[in-house]
Copies of this chain bind each other. A is one copy, B any other.
Amino acid sequence: MLSFENDYSEGAHEKILQRFMETNLEKVSGYGSDPYCESAKQKIREACECPQADVYFLTGGTQTNAVVISSMLESYEGVVAAQTGHVACHEAGAIEYSGHKVITVPQYKGKIKVEDLKNCLKTFWDDESHEHMAFPGMVYISHPTEYGTLYTKAELEEISSVCRSYNIPLFLDGARLGYGLMSEETDVTLPMIAKYCDVFYIGGTKVGALCGEAVVFSGNRTPKHFLTLIKQRGALLAKGRLLGIQFDTLFTDNLYFEISRHAIAMADYLKKGLAEKGCRFYLDSPTNQQFVILENRKMTELKKEVKFSFWEKYDGNHTVVRFATSWATKKEEIDQLLDLF
């Protein structure tokens, strides 16, 4: 059966598996102190043009968000996020489980507006009773967002500037970062992200790895004793090599970017194909997630042949669904999908 359900349906890029094989019987030390982690960190620092960055590897997105946010916030602080931000709604309350409030601001196709952010921060600090409220202590954005959209360089710069004027860190969730960076419609590069954010993560799970996210503290705000904090949150792997080897491979010979570019090329091909078939798009996504408005009858019919994600009801007769491409998507699959329209 065809599947465009998500970008984590397959295993890992084959070069990763090859490296697992090649290095398998080497004895290396544990908990991320092995040479593969070191090498991967160095390559990531270089790709970010941020030689002083601290890099850590964690296993998944919710884990990374919870570890980073709970480690960087003071007890009296919450994290500001879009209403549709992953931390605000799809992480089973993991941020709150760590003791912190998610302070929501409006979303526009998944993005936050700098005006809303300014307003949120100003309102808080102007409020005479702000000591009775959770302090906005960090800003969280996802890039690409949950709707596949991207911040522009100018937007990122402005949001960063607001954060710095309030002396709070900007955290960018890059679960699908490769797909954002390789979009044809972006003016944002990895070094810019390292510059404008204080911390961000480079997603592996959705971009060719079996698991793994690379957290980059580019803003000199690495929490003290972060390894202990990771361990305490149940997020420290004994065999750190599992993550080190994967990111070392992904950041060798531009693999991460190449496979991301492939996913984008596939998404563009899909997008054009669907448009030619007369499909309506819910929004214009420049990345690997495409949101299409389907007639309910069409949707039911399609379900028999292909997997995709229900997104939300559009109206009585229509539904928004998502088709996702990935590093592993094949052109033939898209052709087969288009044939069904």
Q: Contact: B25 with A90, CB < 8 Å?
A: no
* Residues of A32-89 whose CB lies within 8 A of B: 59-64, 66-67, 70-71, 74-76, 78, 89
Question: A12-20, A156-164, A261-269, A278-286: which lies at the B interface?
Answer: A12-20
Across the two chains, which residue of chain B brings its CB closest to A209?
A: B239
Q: Contact: B210 with A92, CB < 8 Å?
A: no
Q: Contact: B227 with A131, CB < 8 Å?
A: yes
How long is the Cα–Cα vector from A328 to B27 in the complex, in angstroms? 10
Does A242 count as interface, using CB distance less than 8 angstroms?
yes
Q: Which residues of B contact A210 (CB under 8 A)?
A: 20, 239, 242
Per-residue contact bits, chain A 225-249, to B (CB 8 Å; 1 contact, 0 not): 1011101111111110110000000
How long is the Cα–Cα vector from A213 to B9 in the complex, in angstroms? 22
Q: Which residues of B contact A89 (CB under 8 A)?
A: 133
Does A135 count as interface, using CB distance less than 8 angstroms?
yes
Choice from B8, B98, B128, B135 contacting A228 with Cβ under 8 Å: B135
Does A96 count as interface, using CB distance less than 8 angstroms?
yes
Q: Which residues of A contact B (CB under 8 A)?
A: 3, 5-6, 8-12, 14, 17, 20-21, 23-30, 59-64, 66-67, 70-71, 74-76, 78, 89-102, 128-129, 131-135, 205-206, 210-211, 224-225, 227-229, 231-239, 241-242, 307, 310, 328
27 pairs, CB–CB < 8 Å, chain A vs chain B? A8-B239, A9-B28, A10-B27, A17-B24, A59-B237, A67-B234, A75-B229, A76-B93, A78-B96, A90-B133, A92-B134, A92-B228, A93-B133, A94-B231, A94-B234, A95-B96, A96-B96, A96-B99, A98-B99, A128-B310, A131-B231, A132-B231, A135-B225, A135-B228, A205-B237, A211-B239, A233-B234
